[in-house]
Amino acid sequence: MATLNFHVRHEVTPERVWGVLDAIATAVDYLHITQSDRQISRLRQLGLVSGKGTPQLTEDGRQLHRIGQRRLDLVWELLHFLHYSRWRPNDPTANTMFFTYLDYCNLLYESKTTDLNAERDQFAAEMTQRISNVSYFTDMLSELAKGAVSLSKSSLIGVEHWLAKLSPQVVANDQFEIRQYCPPELLLMALGYVTEMTNAQVGIEQPLTDERREILCRVCLIDDGVLNQMLEWLYPEYPDLVLPGTSTGRYGQFVRLLKLPSLKDIVQ
């Protein structure tokens, strides 16, 4: 019987993952990178490196490498996005490690500001509890031994590594704080994610409901108060992908995604 893995390895870090991805892209040795096999494993899980055998970059992997050649800062944002969006409720028992990532981000987002050092233990316990009670996993977890889900601080640190690389920062000196800005590219990808998660249609105006706004803010780890401004800055940057919808009338603000964005669309 398959088991569910919720542990996010703390030895897999953004720099190491990027180092390995860069090495694969440029066909150089990566064995000196600490636990390179685990970094490759994460790249595979993120869909950036192809299945089995000799590691090769997927189309997304190549695109991310391309972006990194110009904008390494964006790579960290996009890697965060890939982690956040990898787990999907339509296939809940797959990629469960990323559920931990998503849920911990949500937990931190809800807290707005947190002293991670002081709270991490409690968060680990709370996360364990949350995951154990999530309906997506109850069937499988009930068949596993008691205590099958046990998150430690290191699992959460495994998530924090990626958050610590975001710019503007959300994690600094063991303090988490949601930010007041995010790159348009992350918001663009988040809009694609929201469109998929809320079953909205591409090409049709989607109202920016409270639910959608919240998802966008959670993915981007931004304050809801700045979302409108972020969208305003996004529209002129990617006019071929996203347009502002009407904001008049009774239904509030709308947005119109012309196609689901992919890494290929970023920083062309």
Partner 1 sequence: MNLEGLRAIVNKDEIVPTRQASDFLAGSQEIDDLYKHHVRTYIPLQSGSDEASGVTAFASRFIRQVKEAKAPRGYITADFGYGKTSAGLFVWQKAQDARLVAVPPFKLNRLEDLLDATAGWVAYILGKTVPNLVEKAVEIYQLFQNRELDSIAKRYGVTLDQAERMYSDRALQLNITPQDIVRFFEQMTSLVIDAGFEGLVVIPDELQQYLDPEIKSGKIDPLVPLFDIITELMNQQGKLTFGFLMIITSKELGVINDQRGDLIDRLRGNTLDLRAIYDRGFPARLWGLFAETFDYSEISDQLVDELTLDSLGQIASRPDLSNGPRTVINAFRRIARRALDSGGSIRPYSPIDLVDDFLTNQIAFDARKLLQEATNKALATSLIRGNSQLEQAIRLLAAFPVDGATRDVQGHYGLLDACTELRASGSPEIVIEIGDRHRPALMLRALDVAQENTDELSLILREFVRNYEVQAANQMQRAVNSFMALLSLVFKPEQWSTANLELRNFARNGEAVFVGTSPEMAKRFPERTVHVRVMGDDESISDTRLEGECSLVFVLARNLDLSRQERLKILGAMQTDTSAFTAAFSLNVMLPCFDNLNRATQDQLRRVVDVEDVSVIMVLALHAYLTEAAERDNVSKPLKEMIKRSMSVRLLEGALEVLLNPAVGSAYGVNGGLIVEKAVSTLITARYGDQYETLITYKQWRDNLRSYISVLRQLSSFAQKQGFALVEGTKEEIAKKFSTTAATFDAFQSRFPDLLKIEGGSFPSRREARKSGVLLTRHSLEEVILNWLEGASSITTREHKTVRAVKVDEVYGGAANMGYRPDEIKFILEIMEARDLVEVVGGWLQERSRPSVSLDVLAEQVMRFKQDADLLHAAVHQDETELFVQRGNKYANQLKDFRKHLKESELVALDEQVQSDLRLLQTFVNRGINQLGERAEKLQLADLPNDWSVTLGTMIRASAFTSSLNQVRLRHGQMLQTWNNEASTFRERLSELITDLANLELASLQRFTGRVNLLTETHVKLNEQRRVLDRAVQHTTAWQLTVNQLHDLLEAIQRQGEAAKDLLAQSQEIERTIARAFETQAIEAFAAADRYQQRIAQLEQQVAGLASQAERKFTREQEQYRSLFIQKAGVNQEKLWHNIIHSPSNPDGVYSNMYQAITGQAADLLDAIAGDIESSQTALFGLRTMSGLSDGHVGGAEAQLVLLEKQINQSNDDYTSISAALEISVRNLNQFADWTEAVSHLQKLISIINAGIRELREPIQTSNISLNEEQLLRNLGELKGANNLLRLRQKMADISDDEFWLLLRNMSERQLIEVTLKAQ
The smaller minimum CB distance to partner 1, of residues 133 and 229, is found at: 229
Give whichever of 144 and 226 is closer to partner 1, judged by the CB atom: 226
Q: In what order do the strands lie in the sheet with 171-172?
A: 113-115, 175-177, 171-172
One-letter amino acid of 124: A
List the one residue from 113, 122, 173, 199 that touches partner 1 (CB under 8 A).
199
175 binds partner 1 (CB under 8 A): no
Nearest CB to partner 1, comparing residues 174 and 177 = 177
Q: Which string of x and - marks every residue 131-170 that binds partner 1 (by CB under 8 A)?
A: ------------------------------------xx--
One of 138, 203, 259, 264 touching partner 1 (CB under 8 A): 203
SS3 string of the chain? CCCCCCCCCCCCCHHHHHHHHHHHHCCCCCCCCCCHHHHHHHHHHCCCECCCCCCCECHHHHHHHHHHHHCHHHHHHHHHHHHHHHCCCCCCCCCHHHHHHHHHHHHHHHHCEEEHHHHHHHHHHHHHHHHHHCHHHHHHHHHCCCCCCCCCHHHHHHHHHHHHCCCCCCEECCEEECECCCCHHHHHHHHHHHHHHCCCCCCCCEECCHHHHHHHHHHHCECHHHHHHHHHHHHHHCCCCEEECCCCCCCCCEEEECCCCCHHHCCC
- Which residue among 27, 29, 122, 146 contacts partner 1 (CB under 8 A)? 29
CA–CA–CA angle 260, 231, 197 (5° rounding) = 40
Residue 27 lies near partner 1 (rule: CB under 8 A): no
Q: Which of 65, 206, 216, 242 binds partner 1 (CB under 8 A)?
A: 206
Residues 70-109 that bind partner 1 (CB under 8 A): 72-73
Q: Which of 14, 55, 61, 184 forms a contact with partner 1 (CB under 8 A)?
A: 184
Minimum distance, C-beta of residue 145 to partner 1, in the bound complex (Å): 36
Enumerate the β-bridge partners of residue 175.
115, 172
CB of 103 to partner 1, least distance (A): 25
Stretch that binds partner 1, among 80-88, 149-157, 237-245, 258-266 (CB under 8 A): 237-245
- Are residues 162 and 79 in contact, defined by beta-carbon separation less than 8 angstroms? yes
Q: How far is the CB of 66 from partner 1 (least distance, A)?
A: 15
Q: Can you tell me which of 205, 214, 244, 260 binds partner 1, judged by CB under 8 A?
A: 205
Is there binding between residue 119 and partner 1 (CB under 8 A)? no
Residues at the site binding partner 1, with contacts judged by CB under 8 A: 29, 31-32, 72-73, 167-168, 179-181, 183-184, 198-201, 203-207, 209, 226, 229-230, 232-234, 236-239, 245-246, 249-251, 254
